[in-house]
Every structure is written in structure tokens, then in C-alpha cells.
Amino acid sequence: MFKKLAVLGFGLAALAFALVVAGCANCRHAERDRQITGITWQLDLSSLKGVQNPSEKPMRPITLLIAADGKVSGCAGVNRYFGTAVVDEAEEDLKFPPLGTTRMAGPGMNYETAYLQMLAKVEEYKITGDLLTLYGDDDVRLAQYVKAKIAE
């Protein structure tokens, strides 16, 4: 009888341990899913407001990458941009001080101009699944991205 209770107790302890480990793994996975840094995000062009002549699409996808140290880089459609971001992942606050860009010209400059102006207005962000949404004052939606499937 004692042996059966010991085996049952060991089995319950092993099950409890497995549940705790699985729960912790899910927490880390959920935390990683809400992380803005270290991921290349690709802009949904239709989400960007204020584009003059929207039929003239950019040469390359518009992307955003924020490194863990706050360094920002990406493609604005024609030119590369770079700089720093102020990120508070706990509060989902995000600000972009003035960014630098390369100086090329090409089709899609209309999107690039609107995009860089939009980044200057960003106050907050929200990640839902594979979508990143940027917001400005009064929770106005400024743009939406999807996790990119391209190499940056």
C-alpha cells in the first residue's frame, strides 16, 4: 500500500512539475510574441495615410527594425533610414527622434515622404499576433505592419 502511495505521489509531483515548466515556456513565448525589438516589420501600404498619388508604389517594401539597444533601421521605400527609438515595452510607448536617411530618388518617394512624416508622430504601439500597429496622439492609428518574411 505504501509503495502504491509513493508511486502515486511521485507521479503527481512529476505532473505538477511538467505543468509548471510548460506554463513558464508559454509565458516566455507570449512575452516574445509581444516584443517589438529584434523583428523586421513590413508596412501595409494601405494603412499609411496622407500619400500623394498612391498609385506610384515604392521600389522596395517599407520596413522597420528596432534593435534591443534602440537603434532603428529600415527601408522607407527608396532610401534606407537609421537612428534611434525610445521604446518602453512595458507601457508600449514608442518615439522616434529625427532619423537620418540616404539620399536617392526613385518611384515611390510619395510613400517615403508620408512614411517618414508618420514616424515623427508615433506615440504608442500595440502588437497583436503578427501585426504591429503604431498610434499617435489621442490613439489615432497611424500605420500597421506585419512581421516580415524577407531578410533585412
Supply the pTM of this predicted model.
Answer: 0.77
Query: Domain-by-domain residue ranges, the chain?
Result: 1-33, 37-147
Is 27 or 142 the better-scoring residue by pLDDT? 142
Query: Residue 122 and residue 99: Cα distance in Å, rounded?
Result: 13
Query: Residue 126 and residue 116: Cα distance in Å, rounded?
Result: 19
Q: Is the pLDDT of residue 29 over 70?
A: no
The cell for 88 is 518602453
Q: Is the pLDDT of residue 18 over 60?
A: no
Nearest to 114 by CA among 68, 72, 53, 31: 53
Query: Residue 74 and residue 82: Cα distance in Å, rounded?
Result: 7
Is 100 or 50 the better-scoring residue by pLDDT? 100
Burial grade of 59 (CB within 10 A; 0-12, 13-18, 19 or more): middle
pLDDT tens across 68-109, in order? 999 999 999 999 999 999 999 999 999 999 999 999 999 999
Query: Residue 28 and residue 14: Cα distance in Å, rounded?
Result: 21
* pLDDT averaged over every residue in the chain: 85
Q: Is the pLDDT of residue 16 over 90?
A: no
Chain centroid offset of residue 6 CA: 50
Class of domain 37-147: mainly beta
Is 7 or 44 the better-scoring residue by pLDDT? 44
Nearest to 111 by CA among 50, 69, 152, 64: 50
pLDDT score for 53: 86
